Structure 1
Amino acid sequence: MQYRTAIHRLYSKASHITTPIFYPNAKPHIGHLYSSLLCDVHHRWQLLKENQSFFTTGTDEHGLKIQLASESNGFDQPKKFVDKLYMDFVHLDKIFDINYTRFIRTTDPDHIENVKELWQLCLKNGFIYKGEHKGWYSISDETFYPESKVVKDPSHDGKYLNTESNNEVIYQSETNYFFRLSLFRERLISHIKQHPHFIFPVTKREQILQELETTENLLDLSISRPSTRLKWGISTPNDPSQKVYVWFDALCNYLSSIGGISSILNNTAEVVSKHYNAGSNVEMQLTIPHPKEVWQTTIHVIGKDIAKFHTIYWPSFLLAAGLPLPKQVVIHGHWLCNGVKMSKSLGNVVDPVDMASYYGSDIVRWFLLENSKLEEDGDFQEQRLSETRELLVSKWGNLVNRCCGSKFDVERAVTKFSNKGHLQLQEVFQNEPEISQQIKSHIKLLNETKDVFEEKITLFQYSQLLKHVWGIINDANTLVQNGKPWEREVDQQDAIIFLSMETSRILTILCQPIMPALSQSLLDRIDVLEERRTITFIELGSDEAYGKYSNKRGREVPLKRIPYRLSE
């Protein structure tokens, strides 16, 4: 009985988070990175707490857009084309330390088998039928639009646009297989109301709910395309003359990436998912314990443009197949550049790899998170990115550099005050109530910080989290400035240096999910041992073994100043 309880506790801490899988028809931009970054921080936070976490991302490689792009680029096979394209996304993840568990491709053999299994379950349960489809189809969006959402293109005679994405649509008639989406409206409304956090944030939940409640009948969804038109896709299991609709294919990746449909339905105790490591032909094995429980912890992080597919289509497919629904769909805004929508024609598409090569990947990570609000579009401005780096140098970097100066002794301060109790720091300044009160307030802030991280990361409120971090950094710098440790006797000097260095040590450990590489450099600078960079060592005074060489002259500065490269 005790063994079962221990196992339950272990697996109850498991979690799964996903980005959308990205369409590799163009190089990745700042929006792709943003989705990945939101997931990466959440995933790394779980790992820092020593929980089991799975994080999946990847590329959506089938569909008419890929087929046409492959032909226009001179490839005789679309697979060769996507084999080249998907590597850009793998490279982006490598540059920015995106610590995924699996990078899935919809051309992976295990995924193809899972798509077929999802189709067969929906067919067997009576939710797929064959019919004639007439309507307005967008190649760019890979979807049909109703007549009510189609307008004439004012700038081109004879062309039509859809009002959702403003992409061109063409009218066509063909035989397809249909999914009985119309049967799921009430079930979706009921689930969203009974699980108020299923769609997050609240504003997005209300939008989806209103759309469902005001739509009298959901139209059945065309989920296949004739093989004569769409050659590059998965054949429908029951009819090779049809190819699976790209969204029915793509959405299934979330199941494939953690062991597959059968393992989730059977709740197999342990599944080994075999796949090829992204960027190589090396076969990888991913062990997923209790896949059904893991699946029900799943959080999908997506952009607002694909909300309908994830909050209406995807839950309906799962319900039709008899599968449980994921825990949550988190919907975020897009990124502008200097207040303007990014586009190739305007030449303002931000290349994140270029930004990382000059300012540093962790600076870009910090900037995107600091300016992250799910409900709003972000605005990328390179000058503000440069200013963010400068602030990190002047505030955080300077705090460390000052305390590691030759006038002080970090090791002595750490040895003196570690594990001695918080009150002792205040007692050193018992005749200076202002400094004593500042120390007391600062310690309170530090003690609250883990809970702040937990709350804000859970709610994806990264801008509020980093505002809290800045508050503590500024407070520590004020303590050094007001306390003037360079003018004090040894005990008082060491008390100020100790608390300042503890601030940097604790915050740096907690900020590892935010800035993984820079965190390691900061911890290296003050000689924190590798094994003491875990959540176990975030209490004040919990590490008495760092600082030995911190005040040695000639040590490299973790973060150096660089100029804003576009300045005149």
Structure 2
Amino acid sequence: MEHTKPSYYITTPIYYVNARPHLGTAYCTIMADVEARFQRACGRDVKFLTGMDEHGEKVAEAAEKNGFASPQAWCDSMEPAFRDLWQTLNISNDDFIRTTQPRHIAGVQKFLQVLLDRGYIYKDAYDGWYCRPDETYFTETQVRHHEEARRAAGEEPADPEHPLCPDCDRPLERIQEESWFFKLSAFEQPLLDFYEANPGFIQPETRKNEVVSFVKGGLKDLSISRSTFDWGVPFPFDEKHVAYVWVDALINYLTALGYGSDDESEFSYRWPAQVHVVGKDIIRFHCVIWPALLMAAGLPLPEKVFVHGFLTVRNEETGKVEKMSKSRGNAIAPEEVLELLGVDAYRYYFMSDVVHGTDAPISWGRMRQVYNADLANSWGNLVSRTLNMSAKYFDGCAPERPASWSEPSALRDACDGIFERYAACMQTMDYSGAAAEVLAIVSAANHYIEDMAPWALAKDPEKADELALVIWNLLEVIRIAAELYDPFMPSISAEVRRRLSLDPAPTRDLEAACRWGGLAGGAPVEKGDPLFPRLVDEK
């Protein structure tokens, strides 16, 4: 197959199946979806991957706890929870990978064999600390530094027999078992050199500083297998061992492209990925272990890892602000927010009101505030008023494009350079900045209505041409805004285009679509029901 467009490969983490998806997993997935939609609108050949991480001790335990005959049966039962939510949220993923699929297992085994052949793994005995809930190993140094930090903060000392996890503050276990090790220590300087040569690899910048500091602190070889349970991908050269869950999981970014299959043409075309979107809790896996594994296998590294913060909630018992997660039991179900906001407003709120590199507190009150201010009062109101006036004053149609459409006006000026400003934000996943750029032209249009008072112009037959220009200018802003809002609110944007008698499908040349003058006019328009009815009742 000949590829005529540049590839854009974007991924989410694959999500653990020990519980249903929550607001945090949906947040990460929508982030990737918005970028994927933007890149498609810019004419790129997008591959957007998400999926499920189905191996590991926690999954086997969840299956047993929930009364399933096997871990596979449990994983199969969880698949609809993820697929159905992504469909509800209008996620446009092109692939959905499961780590129990034969294509993935084949790729993992090939990768492990490559590591062995290239001399980067060896068998030894592991004796160290292990966090069972996060399935993460920690060195003595990491555990000691965490305990010192806790003491400095005035917290009670942990039980020396079960020190607390540096990531989640739950008790660690001492693990002693035979294991295969990856020579992570060999990549300390290569990683530092790579970060320096590729300053945009880790974004935002604060996360890069965190990773560099960690690597400079010294890297130790990494246990990458378990032999005390069998729910995982067997090593092709040692079937007593299964791949450590994180090594298994990371390789999904390759196996989804056909790595390890008889046909690796898609892998050759699309790898390396343009961006992995991940949460800050898995930054070391994606910014230290994953690039080291790729270096060891002789494969190119992804162009960028974008690290988002946590959605946070306040613990009513302790008063502390905590990360929202399934394992902490404080997760808000996406269905609760969907009931309040609807799908497109849900997407808009989390993408526009959160600075994506930082932690973000979630508030029902703030959701309502953003919905009413940005969507009901601004965007929805502009569409409703303009289409109503267009239908009323021009016999149910949009006015024809006036001869004076290219003359300077407040709205033409507001839209000048909008694509460049918007695209600059979207390229760095500054979605709140991008949404603000669109809201600015929407607000300018609402002010323009008040300034130009088309209802007054409609009373004077001599001002018919001026009225036509005013309404056409407003419809042109709506057309442009609908294209720019499409990655955030695809269903609403399609509906707005339909009401304008335009193709409901999004553009594949966003830059051209944002040029002033694209609306020919003359076609029927439909006011329709309000796009965003105001929220009144308290949650």
Query: Please, what TM-score do these two structures have when normalized by structure 1?
Result: 0.85
1:468 is matched with 437
Query: Quick one: percent identity of the two aligned structures?
Result: 31
1:491 is matched with 465
The runs of 5 or more residues in structure 2 that have no matched partner are 148-155, 315-319, 458-462
Task: Name which of 457, 482, 490 aligns with 1:516.
Answer: 490
Task: Name which of 294, 319, 336 aligns with 1:354.
Answer: 336
Q: Is 2:111 the counterpart of 1:111? A: no
Pair 1:344–1:532, CA change in 2 (3 A):
closer
Q: Distance in 2 between matches of 1:61 and 1:346?
A: 20
1:433 is matched with none
1:203 is matched with 206
Q: Distance in 2 between matches of 1:448 and 1:414?
A: 25
Q: How far is the alpha carbon of 1:254 from its aligned partner?
A: 0.2
Verify the 8 A CA contact 1:298 1:326 in the aligned structure 2. Answer: yes
Q: Distance in 2 between matches of 1:550 and 1:97?
A: 24
| CA displacement, residues 422-478 of structure 1 (integer Å, 9 cap, x when unaligned) | 11xx5xxxxxxxxxxxx24x3133131111222111100001111111111111100
Q: Distance in 2 between matches of 1:311 and 1:157?
A: 30
Verify the 8 A CA contact 2:123 2:179 in the aligned structure 1. Answer: yes
Q: Distance in 1 between matches of 2:437 and 2:295?
A: 41
1:65 is matched with 58
Q: Is 2:437 the counterpart of 1:477? A: no
| CA displacement, residues 257-289 of structure 1 (integer Å, 9 cap, x when unaligned) | 1121568xxxx7x73xxxxxxxxxxxxxxxx3x
2:181 is matched with 178
Q: Is 2:213 the counterpart of 1:213? A: no
1:364 is matched with 346
Task: State how 1:88-237 maps to structure 2 within 5 Å.
Answer: 88-150=81-143, 159-215=162-218, 218-226=219-227, 229-237=228-236
Verify the 8 A CA contact 1:410 1:547 in the aligned structure 2. Answer: no
Task: Name which of 426, 442, 447 aligns with 2:416.
Answer: 447
Query: Please, what TM-score do these two structures have when normalized by structure 2?
Result: 0.89
Task: Name which of 328, 351, 364 aligns with 1:382.
Answer: 364
Task: With a CA cutoff of 8 Å and minimum separation of 6, indicate the structure with the bigger relative contact order.
Answer: 2
Task: Name which of 284, 290, 305 aligns with 1:314.
Answer: 290
SS in structure 1 of the partner of residue 307 of structure 2: strand
Pair 1:107–1:531, CA change in 2 (3 A):
closer
After superposition, the CA RMSD in angstroms is: 2.4
Task: State how 1:415-564 maps to structure 2 within 5 Å.
Answer: 415-417=400-402, 421-423=405-407, 426=408, 439-440=409-410, 442-488=411-457, 489-530=463-504, 533-534=507-508, 535=510, 536-545=512-521, 547-550=523-526, 555-564=528-537
Q: How far is the alpha carbon of 1:117 from its aligned partner?
A: 0.3
Q: Which moved more, 1:443-452 or 1:540-549?
A: 540-549
Pair 1:62–1:530, CA change in 2 (3 A):
same
Verify the 8 A CA contact 1:413 1:495 in the aligned structure 2. Answer: no
Q: How far is the alpha carbon of 1:240 from its aligned partner?
A: 1.2
Q: Is 2:405 the counterpart of 1:408? A: no
Q: How far is the alpha carbon of 1:330 from its aligned partner?
A: 0.8
Q: How far is the alpha carbon of 1:547 from its aligned partner?
A: 4.4
Q: Which moved more, 1:527-536 or 1:191-200?
A: 527-536
Q: How far is the alpha carbon of 1:404 from its aligned partner?
A: 2.2
Q: Is 2:380 the counterpart of 1:397? A: yes
Pair 1:493–1:25, CA change in 2 (3 A):
same
Q: Distance in 2 between matches of 1:459 and 1:546?
A: 38
Q: Which moved more, 1:46-55 or 1:101-110?
A: 46-55
Q: Distance in 2 between matches of 1:336 and 1:411?
A: 48
Verify the 8 A CA contact 2:287 2:305 in the aligned structure 1. Answer: yes
Q: Distance in 1 between matches of 2:329 and 2:493?
A: 34
Q: Which moved more, 1:533-542 or 1:349-358?
A: 533-542
Verify the 8 A CA contact 1:177 1:223 in the aligned structure 2. Answer: yes
The runs of 5 or more residues in structure 1 that have no matched partner are 272-287, 427-438
| CA displacement, residues 108-154 of structure 1 (integer Å, 9 cap, x when unaligned) | 11000000000000000001101011011111121211123337885
1:275 is matched with none
Task: State how 1:213-362 maps to structure 2 within 5 Å.
Answer: 213-215=216-218, 218-226=219-227, 229-261=228-260, 271=265, 288=266, 291-337=267-313, 340-341=321-322, 342=324, 348-362=330-344
Verify the 8 A CA contact 2:423 2:434 in the aligned structure 1. Answer: no
Q: How far is the alpha carbon of 1:162 from its aligned partner?
A: 1.8
Verify the 8 A CA contact 2:24 2:325 in the aligned structure 1. Answer: no
Q: Which moved more, 1:533-542 or 1:57-66?
A: 533-542
Q: Distance in 1 between matches of 2:377 and 2:413?
A: 24
| CA displacement, residues 205-231 of structure 1 (integer Å, 9 cap, x when unaligned) | 12111221232xx110001111xx212
SS in structure 1 of the partner of residue 246 of structure 2: helix
How many residue pairs end up in the alignment? Answer: 513
| CA displacement, residues 526-548 of structure 1 (integer Å, 9 cap, x when unaligned) | 32234685534432222315641
Pair 1:405–1:525, CA change in 2 (3 A):
same
| CA displacement, residues 149-198 of structure 1 (integer Å, 9 cap, x when unaligned) | 33788587953312232122111211111111111111111111111111
2:460 is matched with none
Q: Distance in 1 between matches of 2:516 and 2:66?
A: 59
Pair 1:299–1:362, CA change in 2 (3 A):
same
Letter in 2 for 1:175: E
SS in structure 1 of the partner of residue 67 of structure 2: coil
Q: Distance in 2 between matches of 1:502 and 1:160?
A: 62
Letter in 2 for 1:184: F
Q: How far is the alpha carbon of 1:35 from its aligned partner?
A: 1.0
Task: Name which of 8, 19, 26 aligns with 2:12.
Answer: 19
Q: Distance in 2 between matches of 1:395 and 1:60?
A: 41
